[in-house]
């Protein structure tokens, strides 16, 4: 039997399950602009540890209010006056949460509005698909705050925008928004209306894929990027051996063979 997720245990995240296996995970501290305190990170670790074994087919990751996420909870960080070792452990916990998202095998689609800054951008860049609306903007204000990124930006944001744009963002606090942000890869989609509605539509679409295919797409691609080309090609063959012979795929292949399956066509 699949593991159950007890929605009532979460306070900083609001969780909602839909019939098609799509879950809505909302950062739910709008009065703090969804700043990431340690409790929120703990809840992200908890949810994304359970999701792959709980039958979650896809996740929409959203932020309540006008802003997706203001990054590290600067007030908590100030009040706690942490030691270097304390903050290293905070960062390791962030990495645990974000790695579970990126490598967990469940598609995560982030719905972005307003500020997606600092640790908020680190969180968003751990999602597999990012959808922004016209209010969304991206920045890394760490340099101005006397800080450095600690939630994976050096890896994931650099992957998205390249090393020198990443360094410029950190040195100057440069803000990216609109189509330019999409052109750089900070988001894959920009929509006129609600990024949440568009993200939900994409999540529903991905949830129609077979779970084992989605598992491979949302774990193997990231793992293989960390390997040498030789080892990556070997790993790809092993994963494809398992996924491409799954019994559940037979009816989909049969539908292609008998011409009842949809064909791939250009957008009209
Ligand atoms: C916060 C935070 C926060 C807001 N930690 N409490 N991140 C930043 O440098 C971004 C800091 N935040 C902002 O620049 C702005 O707050 C926003 C652009 C996101 C939103 O502006 P606005 O005018 O709507 O809100 P506000 O009046 O600035 O803040 C409203 C409340 O949210 C206020 O609390 P209140 O109790 O006084 O009402 C703020 O204190 C609170 N708030 N942002 C804590 N970040 C692993 S390393 C990662 C390193 C980083 O992420 S550094 C980047 C940090």
Interval 166-199: pLDDT, tens: 999 999 999 999 999 999 999 999 999 999 999 9
Pocket test for ligand 1, best of 27, 33, 147 (most atoms within 8 A of CB): 33
Whether 52 lines ligand 1, by a CB cut-off of 6 Å, is no
Q: What pLDDT band is residue 268 in, cutting at 50, 70 and 90?
A: confident
Report how far ligand 1's centroid is from the alpha carbon of 128 (Å): 25
Residue-level pLDDT at 2: 83
Task: Print burial letters for 229-238: b (CB count within 10 Å at least 16), e (below 16).
Answer: eeebeeebee
Helices (H), 18-131: 38-50, 74-80, 84-103, 119-124
Q: Is the pTM of this model over 0.85?
A: yes
7-207 with 211-257: one CATH topology?
Answer: no
Which residues make beta-bridge pairs with 263? none
Residue found by looking up tokens 């049969």 in the block? 254
Distance between CA atoms of residues 108 and 126, nearest Å = 8
Report how far ligand 1's centroid is from the alpha carbon of 236 (Å): 42
**pLDDT (mean) for 47-75:** 98
| Contact status, residue 85 vs residue 169, Cβ threshold 8 Å | no
Residue range 87-115, pLDDT digits in tens: 999 999 999 999 999 999 999 999 999 99
Residue-level pLDDT at 254: 96
Question: Is 192 annotated as catalytic?
Answer: no
**Class in CATH terms, 7-207:** alpha beta
| Contact status, residue 110 vs residue 133, Cβ threshold 8 Å | no
In this prediction, what percent of the chain has a pLDDT beyond 70? 100
Residue-level pLDDT at 12: 98
The domain made up of 211-257 has a fold known as Lyase 2-enoyl-coa Hydratase; Chain  A, domain 2 (1.10.12)
- Rounded to the nearest integer, the mean pLDDT of the chain is 97
Question: Is 96 annotated as catalytic?
Answer: no
Count CB atoms within 10 A of the CB of residue 268.
3
Residue range 2-34, pLDDT digits in tens: 899 999 999 999 999 999 999 999 999 999 999
| Contact status, residue 15 vs residue 5, Cβ threshold 8 Å | yes
| Contact status, residue 100 vs residue 62, Cβ threshold 8 Å | no
Q: Token pair of 44, please?
A: 């992200």
Per-residue CA distances from 261 to 203, 251, 255, 264 (Å): 21, 10, 5, 10
Nearest to 115 by CA among 159, 71, 145: 71
Residue range 111-157, pLDDT digits in tens: 999 999 999 999 999 999 999 999 999 999 999 999 999 999 999 99
Residue 12's SS3 state is: coil
Rg (CA), the chain: 19
Q: How far is it between the farthest Cα atoms of the chain? A: 66
| Contact status, residue 106 vs residue 218, Cβ threshold 8 Å | yes
Q: Whose CA is nearest to atom 47 of ligand 1?
A: 150
**1 pLDDT higher than 80:** no
- The residue annotated as part of the active site, out of 142, 180, 201, 236, is 142
Whether 32 lines ligand 1, by a CB cut-off of 6 Å, is yes
Q: Where are the domains of the chain?
A: 7-207, 211-257
């Amino acid at each position: 039997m699949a593991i159950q997720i007890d929605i009532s245990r979460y306070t900083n995240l609001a969780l909602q399950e839909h019939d098609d296996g799509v879950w809505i995970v909302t950062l739910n501290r709008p009065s703090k602009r969804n700043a990431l305190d340690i409790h929120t990170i703990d809840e992200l670790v908890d949810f994304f540890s359970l999701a792959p074994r709980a039958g979650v087919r896809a996740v929409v990751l959203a932020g309540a209010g006008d802003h997706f996420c203001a990054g590290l909870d600067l007030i908590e960080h100030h009040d706690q006056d942490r030691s270097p070792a304390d903050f290293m452990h905070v960062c390791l916990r962030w990495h645990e949460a974000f790695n579970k998202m990126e490598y967990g095998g469940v598609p995560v689609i982030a719905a972005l509005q307003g500020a997606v800054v600092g640790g908020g951008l680190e969180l968003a860049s751990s999602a597999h698909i990012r959808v922004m609306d016209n209010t969304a903007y991206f920045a890394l204000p760490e340099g101005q705050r006397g800080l450095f990124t600690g939630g994976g930006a050096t890896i994931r944001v650099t992957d998205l925008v390249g090393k020198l744009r990443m360094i410029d963002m950190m040195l100057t606090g440069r803000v990216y928004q609109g189509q330019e942000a999409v052109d750089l890869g900070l988001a894959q989609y920009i929509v006129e209306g609600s990024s949440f509605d568009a993200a939900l539509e994409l999540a529903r679409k991905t949830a129609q894929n077979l779970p084992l295919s989605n598992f491979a797409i949302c774990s193997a691609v990231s793992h293989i990027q960390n390997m040498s080309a030789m080892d990556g090609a070997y790993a790809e063959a092993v994963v494809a051996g398992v996924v491409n012979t799954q019994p559940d795929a037979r009816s989909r292949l049969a539908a292609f063979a008998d011409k009842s399956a949809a064909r791939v066509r250009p957008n009209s």
